[in-house]
Structure 1
């Protein structure tokens, strides 16, 4: 209905209204209907004159005029010449008994085939269009997600933003989603999903007085299994999504319960067919949606409105909804919102709700190539996430201990740059090439902000550490950002030491060290580099010193050659033909994980004609060619570690893997330098084993999930595990990697874990378009990239290898800084916070989002997750506050606490947007 008069006419309709026309007579008098402009010509028909003409027929009297020249009323039809505004009437009795909730929206990719600046303008244009439709149609309702779009409009068009606020208060503009953007839902770290809602929901509360209660991610390509718990923690009880479609997964239901491993549930709805529509009539959209529905569910949501580049619902969309509702074609059609639909479903009661299917897994997957496309954005994102999390921790420490103002605004700026570039066409690598210049700059800003905060905090702490003078030495403070103690190798570049150095701890005791190659290539013999073993307490620091001379050294059992790397824990043999491992013997168990495996499997190059997204790909575990071995070189030997360099080449590309084995660990670390020069090819790094009947476990955000060993391409956070048996003994191998997220686990005679190290499709190339053989295109991932991985053997339980914490240390190492001599009140070794290194792990330690009277203007927020999938108990010690958190955690449970600086105030639990539970 276009105005309140039309609404009133609908409400005034009575059976005694003229049956010949089906149109009520109103107090407004005769109404003439004009055809839509451009729809052809039609004589104007007066409703009253039509009534007068047909009244004698109804009464059984002969007509007063010639029937051959009479004008009949226009019937209702989906198209053709007809009045624009036929009066509403009762639907036909034959109308299907269902209600379709027509969800007007405008999916807007702020970045995709256009830069973010274009998305910025389009948000304003689209939102004005939605407001204008509300002015024209009293029953029109608009659904909006992606909070960044609202923030753009607020800063660029205050008049429009005020109109939106009015419509939100009226209930016709409905904000859903609650997240800053629609991110990729597999690649970001768990904390990033928390922050999407932290900043999104708090924005909605501050500007509109209420948060979103419905989660919505209509366009991402898959959804990790921990999302229901995150949504519930952010105040949302339901979730709307599109992908994977019915043809892409085993999910058969449109409406179902989605349950996280901890037991948290949301009511989930898979959008049938599409999230948007063409600008004309909605009949095609509605027909396809009904055809895709689970037929047992009855009422349903149908999404309409021009999308991707924005636009939103059109006049033609809305007019056609009125028309088809009047005709009864599809059932009852009402313009509505997801909240209204879910409320109707919840109102059906327990008997109905208990009968819904329950999904206890992730929702995968649409485009498998996205987890390997554009290595750069994956690496920049992970680096930025670690940087901001570190900055929060250290800023919270010095706020509490030194009263330094918590940099809330700076951290918010950094986080919003990180969150924006998790958008589902940026982080998956599917945007145009220029978009990645912007992404690199924006993520660089986040890292730069974080580094300034970290450097200030470390220097604030360092100047208070008591560092007695010892002539000829250089004090070095090593800072550990992780809330558990770490034992790790630290590489430190030094100067002014012509005779070399050795390393001692705070008591003068020698630590295991050795010289390594300096980053400086000059004739200055006083510059050099040393690598030493640092044992650093949880979220704390430890003082070391570089002394002149080489020291006495320490003997170890470490042996290295071009054929063997060996210590007291493992013996690793290298095949001189293939350059890969032919034996990985764990001495404690006598199990050899790689006895006689085919080393040519390790590097697998495949011609890859798939598009950027990898549409319709199931697996990249495909027949392949190995890279050619160029040479094996021993780079480094010593008491601390060995380092062997393996060089390979294929056409114009080279791969360098440096195998590093410490003196006291069974874990082999490999640092990779890949110079990739191939077009439309991919490289798999494969790790074959002799495990029998293995099972596979993949890390997901905040958790883990078992998946089939069938060669399918799957996303993972940082590690994948294969566990089986060898010679009847339980055994397993975990592969931990930095910056890589596309894996497979394959069976056969030599079950293996594969990492898709690089793919090089054309930027933003979307099937079914075919590339012109003579065309000029830009291909992804050309040039040098670096990453690392670890091979972690275990005796049959991946939990014993602690891959969650191992991956965080590999990707987020400790920081060493040179210090001077001075008195101080702080000891040489100190911890500010610790989770004890058990099954419950602290994932965030930060200041509160709301300022308070505490030192530095912030109390401390501590968030922790149970990591092993089994109930556990936390003991989180906070020496910086003199407080301890001891709480029971359910399997995979995420909990958040506010710890006041005032010890007289109790610790309180809050939700994920920091509201009291």
Structure 2
């Protein structure tokens, strides 16, 4: 990841070493020792171990043996002898443990004074890098690599074992929310106990399951049996911590008699760092009255529009309430009151059928296979799709790589493919006024794919909520969207930023990236218009020419013969937009897909404390800067706030708090480890921060009520 140099430096790590890049299939990386410049401009001394693999393969190894061929090969392979004459050989049995053997240790001793061979001595990795830094950092011939380090190999690991990918994203989201709501609860109620130990245990389990080979999806089946149990435990802990915080926030009943008979109140919590207006879905299980007899209102008494969601037998199961202006990293309060008439929204420009769908934003036509053959953008008066090509096409490819079934996708996979076309059901499940849902069901051999195409009155995002019972092996499932956009580059979200990659195959360096990784979104834009593809738990993508594709399921047979068999649940979304991805708030839309508003029922009259009915903890005025994390400090009762710039824009932004929360007593900038504090000037409720392109900042904040 191009974000890694900054992350490592700000975590107190000054050097980076790997062998993996030498494994690339098509292009040999040109340097072995170099400065790697990250997305924000941070430079990191990087060194590749050049030890030849024990079996004579072309790539370098981290499982080095101590033999004449490995010692001499280490030197022979190294390409910058004019720059540096001291190298690192990492030896021992890895990939299963074992470490150095007695024979290896004896070989090191004997090679120390071996004539006609590179001189060998024992040492520590830290000593090697410190000496390397002294020798080469100011050398005029030290190369500089400015960009990501793409491994032309193991492209299947973005998709294999989809359950783990989904749970990893879920845990990231849950833990983020739990940390934030408990921080807010501490500030609102000085006696609230932050669930330090619960969160720590959940984080440890989550991070353990990011270990190699678990999260890549390349472990044996028994590992994933254990991993499911571990994720269940981590989720239980994180949910408990989240509920501890939300219940503290929902403990107050509001200032206007919200607990009166026939009234139900909810805190609607926004875990993201900008004000948002969106639908919140509330279960009807605990309602004091029939759902049809509830009218919804804001704290000021303004009527809120709503829509009932009905179950399979037509009974109401939940209600959608349009909730406007929920403060950044905060909450608002809404009330449902018994009435003689329903508080439904107006229907508006809706016409939803199995083949033709008309919404305030789009006119959508489907063919008999359930594929989109026309997507007309009413706001921008243009067709989104490439003429003559269908979108949301579910494509299946034979996936039999040359080796390493779970790890790899090889470029020839596209030579043998099928399209999912056997549509068995197309039923309108919801028809506005706030949301419409068209249910589509396909059969593919022994597999069943159920999808709910979801459209909104007030939002241009099109969601494809998908449930798959997958029973195929060595087949790769993708969703394809051919759009009428001309661009030679596409944008992919990475950690704390984004990267542009080519959409053409002009060179071997281009077509080697036939499958690339992204986090929550990718985008293809031309001047004035673009299309983003968002997701809630997928990582593998390919964008070539005008076609955006998202990898959904990869069902390898080795090392786990039952990999990815069974149930899959995920959502991906299409987001056509005016202008580029930054102006269109693609990043925010993807975050909102992953973190919907959280409704929490008010506790009632038993709680004597009264909280404001609407409140925001922190906000930042730059639309290109995101507040990523709010948590309690690891060492004391202060709060940690992590922000990052994601638009490549340099300048000042204002970071603010609500005066009702308290005043800033002190603000310090630290590294990612919450160390090395530097005082930051501040006012009582705001701080001015200078953000560089793609910079990560960590603040330690003390607030006084």
Distance 2:20 2:408 in 1: 13
Distance 1:621 1:876 in 2: 48
Residues 1:452 and 1:724: Cα distance change in structure 2 (over 3 Å):
same
Q: 1:808 aligns with which of 581, 591, 597?
A: 591
Which has the larger share of helix? 1
Superposed CA deviations along residues 653-701 of structure 1, whole A, max 9, x for unmatched, are 1222211111122221221111111111111111111222442111111
Distance 1:818 1:271 in 2: 57
Residues 1:270 and 1:319: Cα distance change in structure 2 (over 3 Å):
same
Residue pair 1:372, 1:757 contacting (<8 A) in 2 also: yes
Q: Which residue of 1 aligns with 2:520?
A: 718
- Cα distance, 1:585 vs structure 2: 2.2
- Cα distance, 1:265 vs structure 2: 1.1
Superposed CA deviations along residues 627-651 of structure 1, whole A, max 9, x for unmatched, are 1222322211122121112222111
Matched, 1:783 2:570: no
Matched, 1:529 2:310: no
Pairs within 5 Å for 1:88-237: 224-237=1-14
Q: Which residue of 2 aligns with 1:267?
A: 45
- Cα distance, 1:419 vs structure 2: 1.0
Residues 1:818 and 1:695: Cα distance change in structure 2 (over 3 Å):
same
Superposed CA deviations along residues 478-521 of structure 1, whole A, max 9, x for unmatched, are 111112222222221214433623422223322222111248x7
- Cα distance, 1:346 vs structure 2: 2.2
Residue pair 2:72, 2:118 contacting (<8 A) in 1 also: no
TM-score, normalised to structure 1, is 0.68
Q: Which residue of 1 aligns with 2:171?
A: 384
Q: Which residue of 1 aligns with 2:555?
A: 760
Q: Which residue of 1 aligns with 2:156?
A: 369
Distance 2:181 2:263 in 1: 27
Matched, 1:827 2:612: yes
Q: Which residue of 2 aligns with 1:666?
A: 460
Distance 1:901 1:582 in 2: 55
Residue pair 2:521, 2:532 contacting (<8 A) in 1 also: yes
Matched, 1:839 2:624: yes
SS of the equivalent of 2:319 reads strand
Greater shift, 860-869 or 834-843, is seen at 834-843
Residue pair 1:558, 1:641 contacting (<8 A) in 2 also: no
Residues 1:680 and 1:554: Cα distance change in structure 2 (over 3 Å):
same
Residues 1:849 and 1:890: Cα distance change in structure 2 (over 3 Å):
same
Residues 1:887 and 1:641: Cα distance change in structure 2 (over 3 Å):
same
Residues 1:532 and 1:603: Cα distance change in structure 2 (over 3 Å):
same
Distance 1:251 1:690 in 2: 35
Distance 2:195 2:432 in 1: 44
Residue pair 1:866, 1:872 contacting (<8 A) in 2 also: no
Residues 1:405 and 1:817: Cα distance change in structure 2 (over 3 Å):
closer
Greater Cα radius of gyration, structure 1 or 2: 1
Q: Which residue of 2 aligns with 1:881?
A: 662
Q: Which residue of 1 aligns with 2:342?
A: 550
Pairs within 5 Å for 1:499-538: 500=292, 501-518=294-311, 528-535=317-324, 536-538=326-328
Distance 2:350 2:28 in 1: 50
Residue pair 1:571, 1:583 contacting (<8 A) in 2 also: no
Residues 1:743 and 1:580: Cα distance change in structure 2 (over 3 Å):
same
SS of the equivalent of 1:779 reads coil
Q: How many residue pairs were aligned?
A: 647
Q: Gapped runs of 5+ residues in structure 1? A: 1-223, 766-777, 852-857, 904-917
Q: 1:897 aligns with which of 692, 699, 705?
A: 699
Superposed CA deviations along residues 130-177 of structure 1, whole A, max 9, x for unmatched, are xxxxxxxxxxxxxxxxxxxxxxxxxxxxxxxxxxxxxxxxxxxxxxxx
Matched, 1:286 2:71: yes
- Cα distance, 1:752 vs structure 2: 0.8
Matched, 1:647 2:433: no
Distance 2:651 2:29 in 1: 32
Alignment root-mean-square deviation, CA: 2.3
Which has the larger share of strand? 2
Distance 2:242 2:371 in 1: 40
Q: Which residue of 2 aligns with 1:607?
A: 398
Q: Which residue of 2 aligns with 1:411?
A: 199
Distance 2:289 2:34 in 1: 67
Distance 1:512 1:445 in 2: 38
Q: Which residue of 1 aligns with 2:533?
A: 735
User: Which fold has the larger relative contact order, with Cα–Cα distance below 8 Å and residues 6 or more apart in sequence?
Assistant: 2
Matched, 1:472 2:262: yes
Distance 1:902 1:545 in 2: 31
Residue pair 2:165, 2:538 contacting (<8 A) in 1 also: yes
- Cα distance, 1:704 vs structure 2: 0.5
Q: Which residue of 2 aligns with 1:559?
A: 351
Superposed CA deviations along residues 768-824 of structure 1, whole A, max 9, x for unmatched, are xxxxxxxxxx32111121111111112341112222222222112221122254365
Distance 1:609 1:240 in 2: 31
